[in-house]
Amino acid sequence: MPLFDHFSLLAPIYDRAIPPGERAKFLRLLDARPGSRVLDAGGGTGRVAQMVGAAGADVLVADASPGMLAQAMAKNFRAVHSYSEALPFPAESFDRVMMVDALHHVCSQLTTIAELWRVLKPGGILLIEEPDVRTFTVKLAALAEKLALMRSHFLTPAQIAGLLPPQAQIHIETEGFTAWVVAEKPF
């Protein structure tokens, strides 16, 4: 696991430095209904969880950074300190699972996706939003993160989809610098 927690240092200013932006498309793709249980894995300060919670979903934030979780808890989110490779939840616990701008930061992307899939209920949706590394701007951001010793590893949308189980019903959308990989878990 990481030796240095860049994110606890960034936590107090994270929401101002990296606002969630336009989220109509995200909410449409996640399709979280009022009362549905949603896991925001790698959810940091809860900036995206706020938007999903405002739509009526019951959101739990899981993150490995204590500083980020403190910010999420200050927003009254239930928060759990956890690495995404070993989520402390029973199988099939959540109607929706989302990971926003975090997959490139985890130690094992394959193990993370297996865990996200494990905790998703049949009929549920897993939504992974990542910067689209095929764009020049994101390639520059990836280089900057490497220079900051963040050990980030960006994947293309197709590479992310390739980590999902074969039974996943996958849909990929891209717009600007962002890619969404949507996977529905069959019943």
Closest listed residue to residue 122, CA positions, set 77, 79, 91: 91
Find all residues with CB under 8 Å of 165, minimum gap 6, and list them: 114, 117
Rounded distance between C-alpha atoms, residue 117 and residue 101, angstroms: 17
Three-class DSSP labels, 54-83: HCCCEEEEEECCHHHHHHHHHCCCEEEECC
* Domain membership of residue 179 as a residue range: 6-184
**Measured at the alpha carbon of residue 119, what is the angle toward residues 23 and 151, in degrees to the nearest 5?**
65
Q: Tens of pLDDT along 131-187? A: 999 998 877 877 777 766 677 889 999 999 999 999 999 999 999 999 999 999 999
pLDDT at position 17: 58
List the CATH number of the domain containing 162. 3.40.50.150
Q: Is residue 160 part of a domain?
A: yes
Q: Is residue 87 part of a domain?
A: yes
Q: Tens of pLDDT along 64-107? A: 999 889 989 999 999 999 999 999 999 999 999 999 999 999 99
Q: Is residue 66 part of a domain?
A: yes
pLDDT at position 10: 55
Q: How far apart are the first and last CA of the chain?
A: 34
Q: Is residue 1 part of a domain?
A: no
Region 116-138: mean pLDDT is: 94
pLDDT at position 15: 54
Q: Is residue 114 part of a domain?
A: yes
Three-class DSSP labels, the chain: CCCCCHHHHHHHHHHHHCCCCCCHHHHHHHCCCCCCEEEEECCCCCHHHHHHHHCCCEEEEEECCHHHHHHHHHCCCEEEECCCCCCCCCCCCEEEEEEECCHHHCCCHHHHHHHHHHHEEEEEEEEEEEECCCCHHHHHHHHHHHHCCCCCCCCCHHHHHHCCCCCCEEEEEEECCEEEEEEECCC
pLDDT band at 4 (very low <50, low <70, confident <90, very high): very low
Domains held by the chain: number: 1
**Measured at the alpha carbon of residue 131, what is the angle toward residues 33 and 151, in degrees to the nearest 5?**
115
37, amino acid identity: R
Whole-structure pTM value: 0.87
